Each structure stands twice: as C-alpha cells, then as structure tokens.
Amino acid sequence: MDNMKGLKRTHYCGEVTETGIEAVVGGFVERIRDKGGVIFIVLRDRTGVVQLMFNDKTDPAVFEKAASCRSEYVLMAKGNVIERESKNDKLKTGNVEIFVTDLRILSKAETTPFEITNETKVNEELRLKYRYLDLRRAPLQQNIIMRHEIARITREYFFKNGFLEIETPMMMKSTPEGARDYLIPSRVHPGKFYALPQSPQIYKQLLMIAGYDRYIQLARCFRDEDLRADRQPEFTQIDLEMSFVDAEDIQECVEGFIQRLFSEVIGVDVQLPLPRLPFADAMNRYGSDKPDTRFGFEIQDISDTVKDIDFVVFRNALEEGGTVRAINVKNGAAVYTRKEIDKLVEHAKGIGAKGLAYIRWADEPNCSFKKFLADGELEKICAAVDAHEGDLVLICADKTRTVLSTLGAIRLICGKRLEVIPEDKYNFLWITEMPFFEYDDENGTWVAAHHPFTMPMEECLDYLDTDPANVRAKAWDLVLNGTELSSGSMRITDFELQQKMFEALGMTAEEIDAKFGFLVDAYRYAAPPHGGMGIGLDRLAMIMCGADSLRDVTAFPKVQNASELMSECPSTVDKASLDMLGITVTETEE
C-alpha cells in the first residue's frame, strides 16, 4: 500500500469546481468505469463526489494502479482540473474532472456486505450491524452534518443571548423523574449506585440558586424506557434555564432560536410569535397534547345533538358521564370502504374504545346505526359536523378521556391515508396551561404530570389539597407537526410551597429528605425566580432532515430492545469485575 508522503489534500471532493488548477483530493472509491483505454473513478468524501480520469496520456504506472482499484478503496489523487466532456448538471462537480498525475492507494477494502449507495433496500438490521459502512452513504452523512449545524447554531444563538455553557455531572443521585434510571454500581461505596441523568433538571436549578442567571448545555440524557421511532435510551437535549424571567420571556427567547435555526439550516421562514393553545383545547380539538395542526379533521362534540337518540351506545356513554364526539374525514368516503372502516374500528378497540360508529356518505349517507334513528336525526348529525356527499363521519362514545385519545389517533391515521398532511409545512405550537396532576388509574392516586419542582398557577394554589384535577401548571410544551420537541416550566422557589407540593404527591418527610434533601436545603438560602426548557435536539434534527426515525440522525443508535447491533452491547462482563463491585448475577435471560 502507498503512503501520503509528498501529497497534501488541497480540496474536498465536492468542492472541486474550477478548471485550470491543480488539486489533491482524498476519499473512498464510489464506482469505477473501465472503458478500455480510459478509466473513470468516482471518488467520494463527506462533501460529495468528483470524477478522476485516466487515459493513454496518463503515466503507465498510474494507469495500472487505477485499473487495480475497487469499490471503497481509500485513495489520494493529484492532478489537473479540466472540463468534463460528458457533463452532469445534477452534481456540483458535474462539469469538471481531475486528470490524475499521481495516485496513491492508501487502504484496500474487502467486498462490503452491501453496496454503498444513496438509495438502498438493504435490511436495516444488516446496515446497523455494519453502521460504519452505512454512515458512508450520502443521505446519512447529510443528516449527521445537518445535526452538527443545528448544534453549532444553537451554541452561537444562546451564547449571543448571554447564556453560559456549563457541564453538569453524568453520574448523579437517583431521583424520580418519570422514567427508570440507568444505574451505575460504585466500587468505592459497595451496595450504592450512581444514576445516569434523565435530565440535568436539579443541577440547572441549583445553578440558578448559585447566581449563574442563564445556563445552556447540549446535555446527554438517559432513560430506561421502551423505544420507538422518536425515542432512544440516550439522547441529546438542548437544556436551558433562565433567572428573573417569566414564562413569556423564556418562550420568546426560544422562538428567536427556532426562527434563526430554521432559516439558516433549511431556509424556512418561521413567523413569530408562534401560536398558543391551552392544553384543554388541544385535547378537545385534536385528542392529543402534541397535535399535528397541518390538516383538519378536528374532533367535534356532538353529545347535545345525539342525546335524545335511542341508541344504547350513545345513551350509556352519556348516562355514565362520558361524551359522544366525531371527526369528519372530508372526502373520505371514496377512500374508506366498509372493509377499511372495519380496520379503523379494530384500531379504536385496541386503544381502549368499545368501537366506532360511522356515516359514510357516498351516493347517499350510509349510517352504521341508522335503524335507531328517527326522521331527521341523521340530517341533524351531518349538519352538526358539516358533513356532505363524499365525507366519512367517525363517531366514538365512551368516557371523555377514551373518546379523545381514540379519535386523536384515528384522525392521524385518516390524515395519512388521504395524504392531506403537507410534508413541506412546519406548524409550531405552544401548548400552555398544562394540568399539574394526572390521575393514575392503576394506583387510584394523583401523580405529578411534570417534575415536582414545577410551579402551579397562582389562581390554582387553593385547589392543591381539594381539587387536583383543576390545578394547572406554569408549564408548556413546544410541538412541531405532531411531535413534542420540548417541555418547560417555571420552578417553585418558595421553600414552604415546595414542601406542600411534595406532600400533595403523597411523599413523607423521610422520602423528601432522602430524595431531594440537598435541593430543599438550597432553597432555604433564597433563589431568584427562574424557569427553563429542554429541547430534544434529536427530534428536531429528525424533522428538519425529513427522517422517519431518530436512528437516521444518530451516528450509532440503539434498536428496539436497547441494544447496539454493531458493538453487540450490552454485554456480559467477567466475574472478577462483578466481584469487585459486589454484584452477583443470579439469572441471565437470552
């Protein structure tokens, strides 16, 4: 194999556009075309590709070396940039090529397990096993580079606005934050454990108490929870905290960041201020606290319209304190046959509803509960939801919570099926006035909907002990196209109120001291009013790249069972290492 002696790269492959100069490039062989007396090699690096050319005027030793090259070899080439005979207007470098005078083969490659191409149908599991090869593909490289740009602009924006980047510990005390902790056993303190941070929440509040005023960190966070397309066990959070501010100040600061980020990275002009929608309205209209507002099909309450209809499903739901609600899938009748409607019904049952009623108005309204209707009642329902010929009305009757979650999910399915969701539209939305508590049906208790340091709204303080359902928090979410990007809140700074909040959550004095004693003590020494947010950098990158999964914007992601296929982690460790930690593995499941 050759070495680089005497050659120093002068250009990246994708930047060679000017003729009449000498260039030295390095990269991977993407493809080779041997025309007999002429050889073309397409060389690739992270910036793009450039064509190398060898012909009968090439030094014979260089030509012979070019003929020996294969896909994915690593080369360096020196030569003169000339005009290309057969131009390719689709490439930035498509009008030029390099007539090579010196060629070095720096590393040879075996035949790869799959072809390194932009478009691939190769099984994702195989690509993840050889992730370092998959990462050579231009689409993934572009995603990773865009993620870098997001991180760069993030730092620049917040630094310019007076924020300090401060690192917080990666090994911390285990505290309840909504998900299971990843635990680290301590060798020095046998039987005790550190936890990897679910977020830097407590530390950033302590930084405000310490007087640092504005904090920012691109923080690594870890949560031991089930994976899905927009969730990884480890992720990056744009974490910030601000003192002497209210909720509007924090939201305004973040809006400026979003506007600059989308403008610079993907050329999208985000209009400010971003719209706001109270949590209750979001649930009632969209059946979700992270609604996708790029299309209609909003949920409508038709309880009053159907209250006198002699249909047991509606009647029972209303008598038990529930509701009857509907969505009008405009122009859905042609797409949704009876068979496809049955699939929606099964999906609704899977969510927890008893089923769906429907009105499919093709040539004439076809109603699944028509035999229970008196004259004029079908027309009243259609009028209530503005249904006309061609529409499909889907109705759910049950407990309000079940109805909203069911129709919210069905709404998204129908929107995708009818292809009415524009992919090039970015609908941001602040969800405000979040509930402070949520009811745990399994345990029959009220639990914190957010972390326990969230400030309740002043007008709700009297309800803490008497009416938890009506307590709203000074908390908000930032939603983009149906994805939650961020959660934020103002923090409790009053020592006595914080104690009251812990007690409202059913925590004893001993539990409070054991889990949060150091933070509670810190607030005894005064704290400025403060609040903050954590913005999911991974989810932001996923949407801006137009990717379907976080795996497409994460260099080395985990799969569904939280393992990494490439390195085969997690893995077992030797007995000596376990003995040093005082750990015995009693059962191993494959």
Query: Mind listing the pLDDT tens digit for each residue in 124-144?
Result: 999 999 999 999 999 999 999
Coil, helix or strand for 23? strand
DSSP letter at 461 equals: G
CB 196 within 8 A of CB 214: no
Residue 319: pLDDT over 90: yes
Q: What are phi and psi of 254, to 5 degrees?
A: -70, -35
Helices within 95-162 (DSSP H only): 124-129, 131-134, 138-160
**Tally of CA atoms within 13 A in the half-sphere of 526 that contains its CB:** 2
> Which residues, in sequence order, are bridge partners of residue 477?
431, 487
Which tokens in the block code for residue 267?
A: 């050329």
Q: How confident is the model at residue 588 (pLDDT cuts 50, 70, 90)?
A: low
Which tokens in the block code for residue 30?
A: 């993407």
- The CA distance from 445 to 438, in Å, is 9
Under the phi-then-psi rule, with left for phi > 0, alpha for psi from -120 to 50, and beta for the rest, what region is 161?
A: alpha
Per-residue pLDDT tens digits for 463-501:
777 787 888 899 999 999 999 999 999 999 988 888 777
Output the CA–CA distances (angstroms, integers) from residue 72 to 102, 261, 468, in the order listed: 19, 35, 62
The position carrying tokens 């949407």 is: 543
- The CA distance from 47 to 17, in Å, is 12
pLDDT of the residue at 248? 96
> Which residues, in sequence order, are bridge partners of residue 536?
237
Q: What contacts 340, CB < 8 A, 6 or more positions away?
A: none
Helices within 430-508 (DSSP H only): 495-504
- The CA distance from 509 to 491, in Å, is 21
Distance of CA 206 to the CA centre of its chain: 28
Which tokens in the block code for residue 135?
A: 């990462």
Q: What contacts 216, CB < 8 A, 6 or more positions away?
A: 154, 155, 158, 159, 163, 164, 165, 166, 238, 239, 240
CB 9 within 8 A of CB 43: no
Q: What contacts 577, CB < 8 A, 6 or more positions away?
A: none
Which tokens in the block code for residue 20?
A: 């009449």
Q: What percent of the chain has pLDDT over 70?
A: 99
Mean pLDDT over residues 328-345, rounded? 95
- The CA distance from 472 to 290, in Å, is 17
Mean pLDDT over residues 243-266, rounded? 98
Helices within 220-309 (DSSP H only): 247-266, 279-286, 303-306
> Which residues, in sequence order, are bridge partners of residue 236?
220
Q: List Cβ<8 Å contacts ≥24 apart for 455-464.
A: 455/489, 455/490, 455/491, 455/492, 455/493, 455/531, 456/501, 457/433, 460/436, 461/497, 464/500, 464/501, 464/504
How high is the mean pLDDT of the chain?
93
> Which residues, in sequence order, are bridge partners of residue 327?
299, 394
CB 174 within 8 A of CB 193: yes
Residue 223: pLDDT over 80: yes
pLDDT of the residue at 371? 92
Nearest by Cα to 418 from 298, 297, 300, 325: 297
Q: How confident is the model at residue 227 (pLDDT cuts 50, 70, 90)?
A: confident
CB 92 within 8 A of CB 14: yes
Which tokens in the block code for residue 5?
A: 């002696």
Nearest by Cα to 361 from 341, 385, 380, 388: 388
CB 474 within 8 A of CB 457: yes
Q: What are phi and psi of 472, to 5 degrees?
A: -105, 150
Q: Please give the model's pTM, rounded to 2 decimal places.
A: 0.91
Q: How confident is the model at residue 589 (pLDDT cuts 50, 70, 90)?
A: low
> In this structure, how many other beta carbons lie within 10 angstroms of the beta carbon of residue 375?
6
Coil, helix or strand for 166? coil
CB 136 within 8 A of CB 30: no
Per-residue pLDDT tens digits for 155-192:
999 999 999 999 999 999 987 666 789 999 999 999 99
Q: Which residue has the higher pLDDT, 300 or 580?
A: 300
The position carrying tokens 């509960």 is: 369
Helix (H) or strand (E) run with residue 31 in it: strand 22-34
Per-residue pLDDT tens digits for 275-314:
999 999 999 999 999 999 999 999 999 999 999 999 999 9
